[in-house]
């Protein structure tokens, strides 16, 4: 209950401060966020983080599959295979990201 009251108080405080700041301040923050997201350095950092995440996920996948091996029940393996085929991820990138 204490956490719920703290959350509600935080939302109320944010609402009051946000309404006092007004639309102009909101537009300033939005423009600054857009400029930041369009910054080439930020985009490169985000892209390399995505590639690093995909590499890590691939290594983890291979490590887990080697350790688990044939111990996964056939029903589970069939279900995963059918989900991949249904979603169009027969091979390649299972994370739904683009190769940019």
Render pLDDT for 5-21 as a digit per residue (tens, 0 to 9): 888 888 888 887 777 77
Please check the confidence at residue 97 and state whether its pLDDT lies above 60: no
Q: What is the mean pLDDT of residues 74-100?
A: 66
- pLDDT category at 48 given cuts 50, 70, 90 is very high
Distances (CA, A) of 12 to 9, 25, 36, 83, 100: 5, 18, 28, 43, 41
Q: Are 95 and 57 in contact (CB under 8 A)?
A: yes
- pLDDT category at 39 given cuts 50, 70, 90 is very high
pTM above 0.85, yes or no: no
């Amino acid at each position: 209950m204490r956490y719920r009251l703290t959350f509600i108080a935080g939302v109320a405080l944010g609402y009051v401060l946000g309404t006092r700041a007004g639309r102009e301040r909101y537009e300033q923050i939005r423009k600054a966020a857009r400029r930041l997201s369009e910054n080439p350095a930020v985009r490169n950092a985000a892209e390399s983080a995505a590639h690093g995440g995909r590499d890590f996920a691939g290594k983890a996948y291979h490590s887990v599959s080697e350790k688990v091996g044939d111990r996964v029940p056939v029903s589970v393996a069939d279900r995963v295979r059918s989900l991949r085929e249904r979603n169009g991820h027969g091979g390649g990138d299972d994370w739904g990201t683009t190769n940019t």
